[in-house]
């Protein structure tokens, strides 16, 4: 045993890992609770965390996986500043667009800065004067760095922080084929990262949101605690419900002869309307009114069983915002009984395409306490545009194969985007092409939530006793637990085993604390070492130790001289 090997052993007697017996009051989900209780993280402020020694080790493992996968596809690591000059954000237009999530500050001279929530602006400014020739393309750069977002609701520990670690990569291309190739490489690397972290995951079609661009995919760790909802199909189609498309399965309200106005006193909500008519919500139609920047009153019609997708609405009508109650009234509409019949002139009427399958609609009558049944498109009202405008949901039919979509919840651990020329254009980043012309770069960007991944792993790997780290990211592979450190032979054997394991290349912890066995077992389960090797007086009498596999809970006695081999096989 070299001194270096001995130094690498985590000695619990010296380790700063203040474990907690009780769950922290604000911890709603397993990862938050267990990372706190096992002494891996501590809260500094809402959404801002310190990583203690064991947490930092896990983080380093995740970073190594991410780094290896990035290096493996030829991306080069850089480190950009977290502190970014406001001017760059003026150029891209995002100083205004990003909203209150952007952490803004001023230096002593009154010059504006922000703490980077992402780095498109900075990297575009980095390359725009020095990456000049098509011969130097494509180029992929990445960093693993702290990001700041003043989230409206920081919560769930590391899942949604205000300061968190992201790996962000950016690629520059002379043409779409080159961008597509790197995007595919990145996507494949992202899948491998998820696999190596032990995650059960799905890649889903995504909305490209604040970052911009139009082709995007999210990698979702499946977990009930996830804030994202997704749908997926046996044909392979999978999407974030924000972005996905499906065909709503609707039912016809009893065949009507013609338009009939019915009294629906006190009924505003779709659920009440459906109950009143004794019909499923999917046979009713709900209307939502708003205006875009052009000021035109726009009414969106969706099945009563579904929600309007505001992202899609915003894409159809520039700057679309729903009307508030006063504005609804001012527009001559009725909040609880909005519908397509008898709308004010020049209203733009957009209907969910799935509604085409319904002949006779149940709709609001634009008059309080009244609805119509038997309303027919092209007879009683005219739809200006049929479009995909609902939030897709479980039970809808797959837009690609027509099968029924299944639903799940997920944690977005990473996302890849094709940005196109959004930033290179707004920030004037060009290169000279083969034909001598100046062209804007096409760009891709690719983000991994490093700290969020840590939480996602715990969400998938825990039980009522604590964390169950996959070996690839565990703070160490094995913890050697002497039952009684006062017992000379027990302790010396444990020390020797720890040293032997370390010399063999395993990462080892030694619980050399003068604590009761029960305390040590509980902490070992809570911290989640993949393997525990327990050394006790009774076992040693027969030259045996006990090995426990945290994941299965399986315990077995192993001969002292065989334990290293058994450990190797198990790991
Ligand atoms: P979300 O929709 O969850 O707010 P996002 O789509 O805005 O995330 P991106 O801009 O795609 O996030 O950032 C890349 C990755 O950074 C995300 O996939 C996620 O893993 C991580 N991330 C984003 N916001 C946070 C946060 N507040 N706390 C921790 N990780 C985050
Ligand atoms: Mg995202």
Full DSSP string of 148-209: E---SS-BTGGGB-SEEEEEEEEEEESSHHHHHHHHHHHHHHHHHHHHHTT--EEEEE---G
> Mean pLDDT, to the nearest integer, of 357-380?
93
CA of 148 to the centre of ligand 2 (A): 14
Q: Using CA positions, which residue lies closest to atom 31 of ligand 1?
A: 449
> Mean pLDDT, to the nearest integer, of 377-386?
95
pLDDT cut 90: percent of the chain above it: 94
Domain map (residue ranges) of the chain: 3-14+476-570, 40-200+418-458, 260-387
- The fold adopted by the segment(s) 3-14+476-570 is Rossmann fold (3.40.50)
Relative to the CA of 168, which ligand 1 atom is closest?
14
pLDDT tens sequence across 331-350 = 999 988 999 999 999 999 99
Q: Is the pLDDT of residue 452 over 60?
A: yes
CA distance 312 to 159: 26
Which pLDDT score, from 0 to 100, does residue 395 have? Answer: 96
The CATH architecture of the domain made up of 40-200+418-458 is 2-Layer Sandwich (3.30)
CA of 238 to the centre of ligand 2 (A): 16
Which pLDDT score, from 0 to 100, does residue 1 have? Answer: 45
pLDDT tens sequence across 537-571 = 999 999 999 999 999 999 999 999 999 999 999 98
Relative to the CA of 449, which ligand 1 atom is closest?
20
Pocket mutation for ligand 1, best pick of 205, 447, 454, 458 (most atoms within 8 Å of C-beta): 447
Confidence bin at 4 (pLDDT 50/70/90): low
CATH of domain 260-387: 3.90.960.10
Closest CA to 520 of 551, 483, 557: 483
DSSP-derived 3-state class of residue 533? strand
Predicted TM-score of the model (pTM): 0.91
CA of 245 to the centre of ligand 1 (A): 23
Chain-centroid distance of CA 13 in Å reads 37
CA of 415 to the centre of ligand 2 (A): 5
> Mean pLDDT, to the nearest integer, of 73-91?
98
pLDDT tens sequence across 165-183 = 999 999 999 999 999 999 9
pLDDT tens sequence across 120-150 = 999 999 999 899 999 999 999 999 999 999 9
Q: Which residues contact 77 (CB under 8 A, 6 or more apart)?
A: 67, 70, 71, 141, 142, 143, 144
């Amino acid at each position: 045993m070299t001194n270096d090997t001995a130094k690498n052993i985590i000695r619990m007697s010296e380790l700063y890992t203040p474990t907690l017996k009780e769950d922290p009051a604000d911890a709603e989900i397993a990862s938050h609770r267990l990372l706190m209780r096992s002494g891996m993280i501590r809260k500094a402020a809402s959404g801002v965390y310190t990583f203690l020694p064991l947490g930092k080790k896990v983080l380093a493992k995740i970073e190594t996986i991410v780094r290896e996968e990035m290096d493996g596809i030829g991306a080069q690591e850089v480190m950009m500043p977290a502190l970014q000059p406001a001017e760059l954000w003026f150029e891209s237009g995002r100083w205004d667009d990003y909203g209150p999530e952007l952490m803004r500050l001023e230096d002593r001279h009154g010059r504006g800065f922000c703490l980077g929530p992402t780095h498109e602006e900075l990297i575009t400014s980095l390359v725009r004067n020095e990456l000049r020739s098509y011969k130097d393309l494509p180029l992929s750069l990445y960093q693993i760095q702290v990001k700041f977002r003043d989230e409206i609701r920081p919560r769930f520990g590391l899942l949604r922080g205000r300061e968190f670690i992201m790996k962000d990569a950016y690629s520059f291309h002379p043409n779409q084929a080159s961008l597509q190739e790197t995007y595919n490489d990145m996507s494949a690397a992202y899948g491998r990262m998820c696999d190596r972290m032990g995650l059960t995951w799905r890649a889903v079609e995504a909305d490209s949101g604040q970052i911009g661009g139009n082709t995007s995919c999210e990698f979702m760790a499946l977990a009930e605690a996830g804030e994202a909802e997704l749908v997926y199909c046996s044909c392979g189609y999978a999407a974030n419900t924000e972005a996905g498309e499906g065909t709503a399965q609707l039912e016809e309200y009893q065949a009507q002869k013609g338009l009939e106005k019915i009294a629906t006193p006190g009924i505003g909500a779709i659920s009440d309307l459906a109950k009143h008519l004794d019909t499923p919500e999917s046979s009713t139609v709900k209307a939502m009114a708003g205006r875009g920047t052009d000021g035109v009153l726009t009414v969106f019609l969706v099945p009563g069983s579904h929600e309007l997708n505001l992202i899609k609405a915003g894409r159809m009508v520039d700057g679309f915002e729903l009307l508030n109650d006063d504005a609804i009234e001012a527009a001559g509409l009725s909040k609880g009984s909005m519908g397509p019949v008898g709308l004010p002139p020049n209203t733009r009427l957009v209907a969910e395409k799935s509604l085409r399958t319904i002949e006779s609609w149940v709709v609001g009558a634009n008059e309080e306490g009244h609805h119509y049944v038997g309303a027919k498109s092209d007879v009683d009202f005219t739809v200006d545009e049929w479009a995909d405008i609902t939030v897709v949901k479980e039970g809808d039919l797959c837009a690609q194969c027509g099968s029924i979509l299944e639903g799940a919840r997920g944690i977005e651990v990473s996302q890849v985007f094709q940005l196109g020329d959004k930033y290179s254009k707004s920030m004037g980043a060009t290169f000279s092409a083969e034909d001598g012309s100046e062209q804007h770069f096409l760009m891709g960007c690719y983000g991994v939530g490093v700290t969020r991944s840590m939480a996602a792993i715990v969400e998938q790997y825990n039980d009522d006793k604590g964390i169950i780290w996959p070996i690839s990211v565990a703070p160490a592979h094995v913890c050697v637990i002497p039952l009684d450190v006062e017992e000379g032979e027990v302790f010396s054997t444990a020390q020797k085993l720890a040293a032997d394991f370390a010399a063999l290349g395993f990462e080892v912890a030694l619980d050399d604390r003068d604590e009761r066995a029960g305390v040590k077992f509980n902490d070992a389960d809570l911290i989640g070492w993949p393997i525990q090797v327990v050394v006790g007086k009774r076992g040693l009498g027969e030259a045996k130790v006990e090995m426990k596999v945290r994941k299965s809970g399986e315990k077995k006695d192993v001969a002292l001289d065989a334990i290293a081999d058994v450990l190797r096989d198990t790991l």
